[in-house]
């Protein structure tokens, strides 16, 4: 049995799990807010979709790791280690970005003028997934 593709699967799986949870949390908040406000629904939907980017990082890492393992420049066990820990970082980033999006949605509903400012915190949380992504690329 070949275990070489476990690492790429882990990083992809954790990235998608985190994005699903983060988008789900933020999506629920956007639904609640949209039921109370008459306009600006698109910006609430956009905020709730921001945690989906972590699944893209997981997908790219899965492809790169698979290629590195097939080229034998990365061992299967190293792929599992990288996939597990980087995948966890990406997953938690997406979950907490979703939680941050909830407060951005609520604040923007109350004061529409601060919408752009609320995105800064989401970008800061996103940066940790990006750091993990870059570190994984450097390790391969």
Residue 140 has pLDDT above 90, yes or no: no
pTM of the model: 0.88
- CB atoms closer than 10 angstroms to residue 86: 28
- Percentage helix, strand, coil, to 5, in the chain? 85, 0, 15
- 28-36, long-range: CB within 8 Å, 24+ apart, which pairs? 29/101, 29/102, 29/105, 29/106, 30/105, 33/105, 33/106, 33/109, 36/109
Residue 32 has pLDDT above 90, yes or no: no
Residue 1 has pLDDT above 80, yes or no: no
Q: Distance between CA 64 and CA 8 in Å, rounded? A: 8
Q: Distance between CA 59 and CA 9 in Å, rounded? A: 9
pLDDT tens digits along 90-114: 999 999 999 999 999 999 888 888 8
Domains of the chain: 6-139 (1.20.120.610)
């Amino acid at each position: 049995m070949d275990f070489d593709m476990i690492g790429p699967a882990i990083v992809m799986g954790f990235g998608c799990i985190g994005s699903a949870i983060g988008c789900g949390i933020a999506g629920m908040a956007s639904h609640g807010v949209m039921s109370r406000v008459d306009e600006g629904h698109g910006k609430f939907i956009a905020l709730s979709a921001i945690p989906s980017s972590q699944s893209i990082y997981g997908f790219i890492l899965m492809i790169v790791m698979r290629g590195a393992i097939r080229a034998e420049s990365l061992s299967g066990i190293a792929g599992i280690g990288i996939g597990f820990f980087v995948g966890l970082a990406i997953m938690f980033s997406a979950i907490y970005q979703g939680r941050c999006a909830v407060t951005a949605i609520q604040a923007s509903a109350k004061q529409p003028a601060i919408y752009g400012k609320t995105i800064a915190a989401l970008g800061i949380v996103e940066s940790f997934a990006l750091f993990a992504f870059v570190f994984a690329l450097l390790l391969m």
